[in-house]
Every structure is written in structure tokens, then in C-alpha cells.
Amino acid sequence: MSENVMDYGKKVKGDDLAYSLHSWSAQGALNPIVVTKAEGIYFWDADGKQYFDMSSQLVNMNIGHGNRKVIEAIKEQADKMPFMGPAFAFDCKSEAARKIIEVSPDNMGKVFFVNAGAEANENAIKIARMFTGKNKVFSRYRSYHGASYGAANLTGEQRRFPSEPGIPGFVKFFDPYVYRAPFAFKDEKEATKYYIGQLREQILYEGPDHVAAIFLETVTGSNGIIIPPDGYLQGVRDLCDEFNIMMVCDEVMAGWGRTGEWFAVNHWNVKPDMITFAKGATCGYVPLGGVIVSKAIAKHFDDNMLWCGLTYSGHPIGCAAAVATIDVYKEEKLIENAKAMGKVLGGILEDLKAKHACVGDVRYIGLFTAIELVKDKETKEPLVAYGKDPEKLMKKILGMLVSKGFWTYTHENMVIVAPPLTINEAQLSEAMTIMDEVLGAVDGMIG
């Protein structure tokens, strides 16, 4: 390695630590990797080391790094017209909206564009309240919907704490987390009956005439890849229909092919009133998100004011990137590949569960997966208690993975595995061999 490369890496890291604040971190202990190149499912650091990007960065790099079609679309739009305000109609915004509606459930009518997932959820809250005239909003404890103030109050896990005391009217309920249910169910239908019954009772106690919306990640993301049991989403849909409540599915992570369908709701043939999205719409090449609203909601705002707006709503470069990204999903058959490679990854995960004492459960749908680590398979005692990791075990495990070139992230006692949808079977096998080695070391920790 040349001295110039070493000096470059030191300068980049030095300036980063001196001038940048990193999210979700105590700044003094940071030692960020200096990234110099990214291509496909890989990226490289300043020392030339290659990493498998097995979390698609923040579960957003669905089409992989360096896709030329999307990059060229961004360049072309920047040359043509880099910005125009949201009041105007222009080609890439119109085309992006049309293409999004074409791949959405058939009850959907229009798109309100924003810049990110948190903004999508912020605006969906307002739309639900405006449409229903009601104020309370339900969301789940094991959820993350964003860190801006409204989205943070919607969030159920600990990242909401800095935004508390919170906004009145936000109500939490429990996920259908069957692995950690208070008692064993004979099947998924029995689990659904229990969780929907609990939710219905809670709605009654909160007053159905006051509840505007139920927000849920269609498949719970960073909080454990919790996949709804059979009939659960339809049960939520039925409650919403019964009590005139908006069903809002947060598909910021789960959407855009991540689960092997355009949107995760398609697995269960359920039609929500709104879908919030971001991440995979442009795969981070340019920020863009949005709220997809039903035809009924869209019609409501023909005669009623939509009190939502952002300077960068429908940003031309973001919309151009979205148009190209949707084309890439179709042309490269990435939805189909996510489904096929998801089956391969699921098989690998089941083998790891059978092999390793530390693996309590594995959950997977498409290329959206989690490994839940435990101290004891029988008792299901988590490797680290919720909200506590005094020995920094999860940080050590992540460090072992990264040292071997496997990049991902952990949350609580979960390791997330969600590679780009472009990954092939050979790459999956090679990367998951690293996971196998590290889980063996974790077995030694708890033995």
C-alpha cells in the first residue's frame, strides 16, 4: 500500500471525526471505516479490503452499488433540470408517480413525494387525521418509523425516548412476535386470533371514534424481521374497516422487492389505505420517499385542502432516479431473484439454527432475514436483555463479522442479514460461511 493511500485514509477519517456527528453513537469511541469504492454487493476500504455488503447498507441498496442505468439517469436529469418546485408538473415526477402506482396494490390512487421514510410517516399521520377527522394513532412497540418528532412518537422501540414526553394521542400495542409469545399457540391462526383480539380490545378502550390510523411495518424490520402469522394482516384490515380506521403499512424497508414482492402486503393480498416508502425506491442513489394513498383518500383531497408540503417534494433528480430504479427491478428481474435467493438463504439459516447453540430462531422472507441469538435454546433467554448489553457482546460479534469482511448491523439480540437483491448463490454461500464461523465463536462464549 502506498504512503499516499495511507495518508488519504488518515485525512478522511481525521476530518470525519473532527467535524461530523454520527447517528446513534457516542462520538468518542468511533473508528469509522474509510470507504473508497463500491460495486455490486461489495465495497472496499482505504486499505483495499473488500467487504460483503450483507445489510444493503441500511436495507436500502437493493439494486447494489454502482448501477450504471440509475447513475446515467441522475446525470441526465441534472443536466436537463436539477430542480423545480413541487407546484409544477414535469416529466420525471409524473412518470415516477405513474410507475409507482402501477406496481402498487390496485386500490392505490396517488403518491405524495417526500425525501425519506421518516417524512413519509410524518405526512401519513397528518393525512390520516385529515381524512378521518380523528386524532389517535396506533403503532407497535417493536417498530421503527423514523427519528423526526412525529415519526419518533410513532416509533415503539427505544429510539423514541429522546422525543419524550411525547405527543398526545400516540398509542402502542404489541407485535405478533410468536417466538416470544406469552404461551405456545397450536398454529398461526390461533396466534392471529389472540393478537387481533388483544388489538380489538385496546381499540375499544381507546375509543374507536378517536382512532385515526393503525401504523405497522408490514414485516417488522430492524426490530427482528417479525413476519405476521397467517391471517394477521387481514385481521388488522377487518378492524380498520369495522371502526373506520386507516390502515397504514410502513414499507420503507420491506418494500421494493425486499421480500420477493413489489410490496410485502402482496404476500397476504391485503390492501392498506396508505403505504409509506423510501429506501428501495431509489436505493439511496438520491434521497426520495413518499406516501401512496388509496383512490378514496386521493378523491377526498380533490375538494379538501392537503395540508402537507416540502420544498423538495417530488425533487426532479430523485424522481428520475426512481424511474430508472423501477426499470432496473424489472429488466434485471430482481424481484424474482429476491424470491429465489431468499429460499437459498432461508435454507442456510435453518442449517445454522440446527448447528449452533446460540441461534434461537431465524426468520426470513425474501432477502429480509434475522438471526436471533440466545444464551439457551430451551429457555429462549436472549443473548442480551432488551435495552441492555453491559458486556457489549453484540458489538463484539459485529466486530468479528466485519473483521472477516461481512458488513451488516445488529439490533438488540438480532443480527440482520439483508443483502442486495442482485446477489447470487455463490456469493451468498461465501458470505454466509463467514457467519457460520462467527456463530461458532459465539457458541464458545455461551458454552
Q: What is the pLDDT of residues 369-387, one digit of tens each?
A: 999 999 999 999 999 999 9
**What's residue 124's pLDDT?**
98
> Would you say residue 129 lies in a domain?
yes
Start-to-end CA distance of the chain, whole Å, equals 41
- Answer yes or no: do 115 and 53 share one domain: no
**What's residue 219's pLDDT?**
98
Q: Which three cell numbers stand for residue 3?
A: 504512503
Q: Which of 354, 289, 253 is nearest to 123 (CA)?
A: 289
Q: Which three cell numbers stand for residue 343?
A: 429460499
Residue 290 pairs in a beta bridge with 113, 277
> Would you say residue 6 lies in a domain?
no
* CATH code, 348: 3.90.1150.10
**What's residue 179's pLDDT?**
97
**Number of domains into which the chain is organized:** 2
- Answer yes or no: do 141 and 218 share one domain: yes
Domain termination site, one of 277, 301, 331: 331
> Would you say residue 14 lies in a domain?
no
- Answer yes or no: do 138 and 48 share one domain: no
> Would you say residue 11 lies in a domain?
no
Domain termination site, one of 331, 349, 381: 331
- Answer yes or no: do 214 and 230 share one domain: yes
- Answer yes or no: do 181 and 294 share one domain: yes
Distances (CA, A) of 445 to 168, 289, 349, 405: 44, 42, 20, 21
Q: How far is CA 4 from the centre of its chain?
A: 38
CB 209 within 8 A of CB 172: no
> Would you say residue 19 lies in a domain?
no
- Answer yes or no: do 45 and 94 share one domain: no
Q: What is the DSSP string of 404-421?
A: TTEE--EETTEEEE---T
> Would you say residue 1 lies in a domain?
no
- Answer yes or no: do 377 and 343 share one domain: yes
Q: Is 305 exposed, middle or buried, given 0-12, 13-18 or 19+ CB atoms closer than 10 A?
A: exposed
**What's residue 444's pLDDT?**
96
- Answer yes or no: do 325 and 401 share one domain: no
pLDDT digits (tens), the chain, 447 positions: 555 766 889 999 999 999 999 999 999 999 999 999 999 999 999 999 999 999 999 999 999 999 999 999 999 999 999 999 999 999 999 999 999 999 999 999 999 999 999 999 999 999 999 999 999 999 999 999 999 999 999 999 999 999 999 999 999 999 999 999 999 999 999 999 999 999 999 999 999 999 999 999 999 999 999 999 999 999 999 999 999 999 999 999 999 999 999 999 999 999 999 999 999 999 999 999 999 999 999 999 999 999 999 999 999 999 999 999 999 999 999 999 999 999 999 999 999 999 999 999 999 999 999 999 999 999 999 999 999 999 999 999 999 999 999 999 999 999 999 999 999 999 999 999 999 999 999 999 997
Query: For the segment 49-88, what is each residue's pLDDT rounded down to a tens digit?
Result: 999 999 999 999 999 999 999 999 999 999 999 999 999 9
Q: What's phi and psi for 122, nearest 5 deg?
A: -55, -45
DSSP-H helix ranges across 167-207 = 188-206
10 Å Cβ neighbour count for 425?
12
Query: For the segment 244-301, what is each residue's pLDDT rounded down to a tens digit?
Result: 999 999 999 999 999 999 999 999 999 999 999 999 999 999 999 999 999 999 999 9
> Would you say residue 26 lies in a domain?
no
- Answer yes or no: do 146 and 54 share one domain: no
- The span from the CA of 235 to the CA of 232, in Å, is 5
* CATH code, 309: 3.40.640.10
> Would you say residue 10 lies in a domain?
no
- The span from the CA of 253 to the CA of 261, in Å, is 12
- Answer yes or no: do 214 and 323 share one domain: yes
Range of the structural domain that residue 106 is part of: 68-331
- Answer yes or no: do 377 and 305 share one domain: no
- Answer yes or no: do 301 and 352 share one domain: no
**What's residue 3's pLDDT?**
59
Domain termination site, one of 331, 360, 378: 331
**What's residue 7's pLDDT?**
86
The kind and range of the H/E element at 291 are strand 289-294
